[in-house]
Amino acid sequence: MTSPFPAPGLDADSALMAALFAVDPAGLAGVALRARASTRRDDWLALLRSLMPEQSPWRRVPLNINDAALLGGLDLGATLQAGRPVAQQGVLAQADGGVVLLAMAERLPAGLAARLAAVLDTQEVATQRDGLALRQPARLGVVALDEGASDDEQPPAALLDRLAFQLRLDEPGPARADNEPVNWRRADIEQARALLPRVSVGDDMLQALCGAALALGVASMRGTLLAVRVARAAAALSGQEEVSEEHASLAARLVLAPRATQLPAPQQSEPDEQQQKQPDDSPPQEPPPEPPPPEAQQPPDQQADAPPPAEPPPDADDAAKGMDKQLAETVLEAAQAAIPPGLLAALKIGEASRSRSQAAGRAGAVQKGQARGRPIGARRGEPRAGARLNVIETLRAAAPWQRLRREASQRGGAQQQRIHVRREDFHVTRLRQLGQTTTLFVVDASGSSALHRLAEAKGAVELLLADCYVRRDRVAVLAFRGQTVELLLPPTRSLARAKRSLAALPGGGGTPLAAALDAARELAGQIARRGETPIVVLLTDGRANIARDGSPGRAKAGADASAAALQLRAAGLATLLLDTSPQPQAVAEQLAREMGAAYVPLPYAGAMALSQVVRLATGSPAA
């Protein structure tokens, strides 16, 4: 069997995903394709397009598309010319029966992801805007092009949950013996499409897939439903009208494995094995009493009249249960073997269930302003206080009323106008601006080893300042020792000023940790009120010995530090505690828990390692 499109560099699973998706694009919803722009990605897209029907639409959705272009709306030029509302199709309605390509899906705004999710759920586009109320079919599939550089850069979870496949072309898949791709033809896909409505799924296959999803911690029902649809598409592609064990295992491997949030629990040992593990000195268990012979259980006359058993013997039920259990284990093993290596390592250390927050600090919190920023739409309003009039949306709002306004103007004897625009039609452009991030270092300058810790902090700040022009963030330094807390460096990008301020910092004295946390919370609040995103990085060993009122004593100082840490946590700030002790200290780890901060022990870490940890915590690219 030959293919019209050779796909060098693609493994069997990559080609198979393209074929399965081509069989049922609307049912499988789509593919999250994680890969930078490369020949492999182009080859996979070309393979998919060669398998789709010739006349099927193929549309690309840019990242900054507006609702009118995406969902459809009023055709402004045709409406003004005709004098009545004229609708135009959006990209999603134009892609009915085909495929939509999402560029830079890892940066997809939440609003755009929600609109796409609604269309995938209902398979239609509902337009209710500009005086229009339309419903247009949109049975389509989505290919989300994910070019993220790190694991935190991913398409929105609401969209990923609805896409059947998660394909990574940027890293090799698990080694398999049958890794040679099959050269699928468009004729194979057409035959599978015709057979798909007749493919059935047995109850045992459904139970096996549900059991595998439960064992892997796939909480969303969409994952299981998509696995069933993939199994049906695989059966149709192989020319069979019933889903087999091979198809169910394939669906579990391609759909459920990338969604795993836990490893399957180990099976309990058999009773015979448990008895073998008992110690030798334990008293032997008495054997159960033997059942009485059948003749003694009932009188002879009743034995002769007793009807034969209507139910099958217990051995048949046990055999059926054994087959179902074996099927479930086979499907689960196939899914477990296909878990990606990176995800498998994360599951083994218990990190997969942890929610990954798109933490503030990568490029600052999102702000909505009127003066500058990236346009994100329009709203009704007047162009005042720096707001800019959106001419297109203003004309779009006025277009449906032109006939009525023209007739009213003629009745009033007013001068005729080509377009009648009123104040209530005004729309202004909404802008979104990424706020600035300020990393606030709170440095413990007390004790005999202060010079070493200060050298690390100075080096880290200087390294981060060198990246400020790219990352658009600022750095501030608070130092505490003795009984005082000093703002050593106000928020700045100036590398020369930072070096001059850090050079003359002395060390030694007590540890007023509570006062330092209070000062950090106050300064971070000021930074946040200016519209910036503060990140607090605390460098300390956690051993407080100066209370809030300046009195010495570890007990009171520790209690004050705990109270200040809880207040800092209540402020909802992104925090990181770097333990600068020669050995990790339990008191510093407890302080990090009270702050709600990430705890990183850095004994004898140099400035480069310290800067690397801060980059990872703030979501910045590693050096």
Query: Mind spelling out the 3-state secondary structure of 597-617?
Result: CEEEECCCCCHHHHHHHHHHH
Q: Where are the domains of the chain?
A: 9-173, 184-262+321-342, 366-434, 437-615
* Domain 9-173 homologous superfamily, CATH: P-loop containing nucleotide triphosphate hydrolases (3.40.50.300)
CATH topology of domain 437-615: Rossmann fold (3.40.50)
- Whether the model clears a pTM of 0.95, i.e. scores above it, the answer is no
Query: From CA 436, how far away is CA 469, in angstroms rounded?
Result: 12
Within 10 angstroms of residue 599's Cβ, the number of other Cβ atoms is 17
The C-alpha atoms of residue 230 and residue 236 are separated, in whole angstroms, by 10
What is the mean pLDDT for each group of 10 consecutive residues in the chain (623 residues)? 50 90 94 90 92 93 86 78 78 93 90 92 85 86 87 84 90 54 84 94 90 87 93 94 92 89 62 44 48 46 47 45 60 60 46 36 48 72 80 84 82 77 86 75 70 61 62 79 84 73 69 90 88 85 86 89 91 83 82 86 58 56 46
The DSSP secondary-structure symbol of 528 reads H
Tell me the CB-side half-sphere exposure of residue 248, using CA atoms within 13 A.
27
Provide the 3-class DSSP secondary structure of residue 103.
Answer: coil
Among candidate residues 179, 175, 163, the one with its CA nearest the CA of residue 230: 163
SS3 310: coil
Tokens of 112: 């755009």
Within 13 A of 451's CA, how many CA atoms are on the CB side? 1
- Cα separation, 288 vs 214, whole angstroms: 37
Closest CA to 598 of 359, 353, 363: 359
Residue 255, both tokens = 């759909």
Q: Which amino acid is at 585?
A: Q
From CA 604, how far away is CA 610, in angstroms rounded? 10
Instruction: Confirm whether 9-173 and 437-615 share one CATH topology.
Output: yes
Q: What is the pLDDT of residues 441-469, one digit of tens each?
A: 888 877 645 555 666 666 666 666 666 65
CATH architecture, domain 184-262+321-342: Orthogonal Bundle (1.10)
Tokens linked to 542: 């956690």
Alpha helices, H only, 216-299: 221-237, 245-251, 271-276, 294-297
